[in-house]
Amino acid sequence: MGRHNGRARKAGERVGATLAAKNKKTAPKTQAEIGANFKHTTDAGLGRNMQSVLDRNDLDELMAMADLADRDFTAERGQCIVISTGVVDPLAEARREEERAAAEARNAHRLALPRRPAWTPDMSAEQLDLQERTAFLSWRRALAHMEEEEKLLLTPFEKNLEVWRQLWRVLERSDIVVQVVDARDPLLYRSEDLEAMARELHASKSSLLLLNKADLLPPHVRTAWADYFDKAGVEYAFWSAYAVIQEQQALRSEAAALGVEPAVLKKLQALQAAEAAEAAAAYAARREAAAGAGPGPGSSGSGAAAAAAGAAVPKDPVKEDPRIKILDVDELLDLFEAKCCAAVAAAGADDPRAGDTDRKHMVGLVGYPNVGKSSTINALFGAKKTAVAPTPGKTKHFQTLHVSPDCVLCDCPGLVMPKFAKSRADMVAAGVVPIDRLTDIRQPVDVVARRCGRDQLARVYGIKLPPALKHLPPSSPPTAEQLLRAYAVLRGWTAGSGLPDETRAGRQILRDYTNGKLVYCLLPPGITPIGWVPGEAEAPNAVALAAAAAADASSEAAERAEAEAAAAAAGVAGSGQGSGQGEEGTGQEEGEGEDEGPSTSAAGGGGEKVGRAALAAAAVMAGDDLDAADLDLLEGLAAESAKEKSKRPDYKFNKKAPRTKGDRGQQRAEWQGGFDGAGLVHGKKGGLVRVGGY
């Protein structure tokens, strides 16, 4: 494409950047050029501004709706209508919640996204613009009527028509639509109507749910979501853009230190990983063969316990369930290309895309702000191609990027879609609403505190939170005021009056929650508890419990035999001591303390020694596969550790001389070498001390 500003441009399609440059070039510059049509909207001064608009005050909202309707009005004074007095009836709250849930279920179909009206190539730009504005105004009015009639509360949603136009263009150009959602709460970010809109454009246009930030979810949570989406018939994939970017940075640093190319080092690491996997598979096969052969004639019953425990050891969850695997870059690109090929093939031979061999597959990335669409593109490229920022809405226009010779990514600006919500605080905690624009910080922080819990907050930040109120359990989460004040004092953040700066502390806590430093993962509907936080004890593994039970049952006989052998040995030793007692009576008294130690240890060894059943159960819960030799080694180490703990440390035998108060000011006798009748004597520190009586 030539040179621009002294820099060479790379060849390729940059439709989004071209459109943005054209809009900026043709934008009106003066107020006279702006005119009345753009007076009260975000388009003022920029012609078609890509700025996302989620919230407006009442006056701006009124002016924007009037502009869409192309109407003018005059204000009327003295005709105020009282909408609410601010009085809340606590007795009616439960009834209102039930009515709200019923109204949401009844009006769920009305939360449709704005559709692009039908158009033809012979329509002028003015006709098309007027048609789209009229359709968008009708959609806005329908949502407003629903809120007013049904008394429902909607989340802040996108109110700029130009941003929705970006979505229409991405859907029209894409072969498949990928919804990038936050894996910690997928249902909040998923839009079923967006999938329906894609199918309306073309029946073969499929959708894929890409669960980003999946590295924050443990395997059992990913398994629960996989079961839920399989039952619902939704195609999904687990992905972590942050983990991939960190791995790429580490690979580049290591390659630079070794003086090789990152691609060469990556291939070498892949070969080493393949060799290690083959060796591990061969080792596992040998162990399975040894376990199937059974214990030898000289082995004890504990060997059977180890074999039973090893047979029931759970494997790697990812290997057992490939659905929950977090994909890497190559696997995700292969998945995109496979979905695109299937979509084009399903369109039929009459589709123009089927006969175009030079055409590349187009993958549209759509989703809420701050879910990681731009980070996903950067991870797929291995370099920074799109702007990334913690503030939602960084991407202003859609952009097409060639990620491979056969695949093109189309990144859409973040769109906040209308949904039913209880409060605005939930949307702030989800990272949809920009944190830096908040004025009321306590409500979102209270949501975070209730989700994360007291233990996680104290562990992550290293703060001592005030105890819970007396009528609440000790583990109840702290209030927003307690958390904000404690964290602000810890960081030394104070406001102008010397009080803790709660606003700054609250914004930092919300950023930590959004970035994953504070973790809370929702589980699918119908599962109790509804969420998971780090540190919570998982439900006992059925396989581990079965293996522990088998180990206990099979090792019971072996432990009984060991106890009988120990008792027999103790009896033989006792008879020997009785026969020699008359000859060495004095020696027996001197060695009595030494004989008591081993006998006591033999009698009480069952309480201190770690049994094979406990070792097998611990190995099963840890996911390790141990054989009989490993259990014998662990048992010996445990016995030696117990013996070392029972032994008195050597440093305790080095007793220091007892400290006394000395004889300062006391008279000493002549035989003690201190008192000779004089009135002064030497004190403790060598000084002269006067003796009383003179």
DSSP 599-648: HHHHHHHHHHSPPHHHHHHHHHHHT----HHHHHHHHHHHHHHHHHHHSP
pLDDT of the residue at 182? 92
pLDDT of the residue at 97? 75
Mean per-residue pLDDT, 669-680: 49
pLDDT of the residue at 596? 41
High-pLDDT (> 70) share of the chain, %: 58
The pLDDT confidence band at residue 241, using thresholds 50, 70 and 90, is very high
Alpha-carbon span 605 to 643, nearest angstrom: 10
Which candidate, 639, 569, 628, 579, places its Cα nearest to that of 606? 639
- pLDDT exceeds 50 at position 682: yes
Mean per-residue pLDDT, 673-679: 50
pLDDT of the residue at 497? 77
Q: How many CB atoms lie within 10 A of CB 423?
A: 13
Q: How many CB atoms lie within 10 A of CB 48?
A: 20
Q: Write down the domain spans for the chain.
A: 104-152, 153-263+320-421, 423-556
Mean per-residue pLDDT, 152-166: 85
The pLDDT confidence band at residue 263, using thresholds 50, 70 and 90, is confident
- pLDDT exceeds 50 at position 606: no
Of the listed ranges 30-34, 251-255, 267-271, 380-384, the one predicted with least confidence: 30-34
Of the listed ranges 281-295, 370-384, 481-495, the one predicted with least confidence: 281-295
Mean per-residue pLDDT, 27-38: 50
The pLDDT confidence band at residue 694, using thresholds 50, 70 and 90, is very low
High-pLDDT (> 90) share of the chain, %: 23
Mean per-residue pLDDT, 70-91: 55
Mean per-residue pLDDT, 172-183: 92
Which candidate, 155, 187, 193, 189, places its Cα nearest to that of 171? 193
Q: Which CATH class is domain 153-263+320-421?
A: alpha beta
pLDDT of the residue at 640? 65
Write out the H or E segment, with its range, that includes residue 268: helix 262-293
pTM score: 0.64
Q: Which CATH class is domain 423-556?
A: mainly alpha
Asked, as a colleague might, if the bond just before 529 is cis with ω within 30 of 0, I would say yes
Alpha-carbon span 405 to 403, nearest angstrom: 7
- For 639-653, how does the pLDDT look when each residue is reduced to its tens digit (9 = 90+)? 666 665 556 666 666
- For 401-450, how does the pLDDT look when each residue is reduced to its tens digit (9 = 90+)? 888 888 889 888 888 888 887 677 887 888 777 787 777 889 999 999 99
Query: Is pLDDT larger for residue 401 or for residue 628?
Result: 401
Q: What are phi and psi of 681, to 5 degrees?
A: -130, 165
- pLDDT exceeds 50 at position 174: yes
Cβ 177 vs Cβ 205: under 8 Å? yes
- pLDDT exceeds 60 at position 155: yes
- pLDDT exceeds 90 at position 105: no
As a whole number of Å, the end-to-end CA separation of the chain is 114
- pLDDT exceeds 70 at position 615: no
Tokens describing residue 261: 């190319």
pLDDT of the residue at 601? 39
Asked, as a colleague might, if the bond just before 262 is cis with ω within 30 of 0, I would say no
The pLDDT confidence band at residue 276, using thresholds 50, 70 and 90, is confident
pLDDT of the residue at 563? 56
Report the chain's mean pLDDT, rounded to a whole number.
73
Which candidate, 139, 155, 145, 151, places its Cα nearest to that of 101? 151
**With the CA atoms of 689, 692, 693 and 694 taken in that order, what torsion angle do they form, in degrees rounded to the nearest 10?**
40
Highest mean pLDDT among 312-326, 464-478, 596-610, 624-638: 464-478
pLDDT of the residue at 20? 63
pLDDT of the residue at 359? 84
- pLDDT exceeds 60 at position 554: no
Tokens describing residue 269: 């690491």
Mean per-residue pLDDT, 100-107: 83
Would residue 661 be called left, alpha or beta, if left means φ above 0 and alpha means ψ between -120 and 50 degrees? alpha
pLDDT of the residue at 522? 92
Mean per-residue pLDDT, 319-347: 89
The pLDDT confidence band at residue 52, using thresholds 50, 70 and 90, is low
pLDDT of the residue at 458? 92
pLDDT of the residue at 334? 92
Q: How far is CA 623 from CA 305, 616, 626, in A?
A: 16, 11, 10
pLDDT of the residue at 43? 43
pLDDT of the residue at 688? 65
- pLDDT exceeds 60 at position 262: yes
Highest mean pLDDT among 14-18, 277-281, 486-490: 486-490
Q: How many CB atoms lie within 10 A of CB 5?
A: 5
Alpha-carbon span 434 to 370, nearest angstrom: 9
- pLDDT exceeds 80 at position 69: no
pLDDT of the residue at 210? 95
The DSSP 8-state label assigned to residue 391 in this structure reads S
Mean per-residue pLDDT, 663-671: 48
- pLDDT exceeds 60 at position 141: yes
